[in-house]
Amino acid sequence: EADIYQTPRYLVIGTGKKITLECSQTMGHDKMYWYQQDPGMELHLIHYSYGVNSTEKGDLSSESTVSRIRTEHFPLTLESARPSHTSQYLCASSAGTGVAGELFFGEGSRLTVL
């Protein structure tokens, strides 16, 4: 069983609110990722981190920001949510590439912005 956790699982908020999606893993993985997934569509990378104080934007442009102050914690923040941000956000981690590249995913955070 994967030790990676996301909160909240579901969030419904109004436009303009600031939100933070939490992601924590207890496996000591250096690599962490945030993906955005719309219904019936593939996962798109929005942010990733290869370790503490390392963050990069992914392939899909996103107005969200991330931070990596501790190895186990990789929160995602939207300063001012809009209806276009309505989606599912999935956090993942891995120990590395090659044989250590197995991916572990959280349960996802389903965000609805009214």
Partner 1 sequence: KNEVEQSPQNLTAQEGEFITINCSYSVGISALHWLQQHPGGGIVSLFMLSSGKKKHGRLIATINIQEKHSSLHITASHPRDSAVYICAVRSLRGGGADGLTFGKGTHLIIQP
Interface residue list for partner 1 (CB under 8 A): 2, 31, 33, 40-45, 48, 56-59, 88, 90, 92, 97-98, 101-108, 110
CB of 2 to partner 1, least distance (A): 8
Task: Give the distance from CA 80 to its chain's centroid.
Answer: 17
User: Residue 84 or residue 97: which is nearer to partner 1 going by CB?
Assistant: 97
- Spatial contact of 34 and 93, defined as CB atoms under 8 Å apart: no
User: Residue 100 or residue 114: which is nearer to partner 1 going by CB?
Assistant: 100
User: Residue 5 or residue 20: which is nearer to partner 1 going by CB?
Assistant: 5
Q: Please state whether the peptide bond connecting residue 75 to the residue before it is cis, i.e. omega within 30 degrees of 0.
A: no
In DSSP terms, which residues pair with 89 in a beta bridge?
A: 36, 109
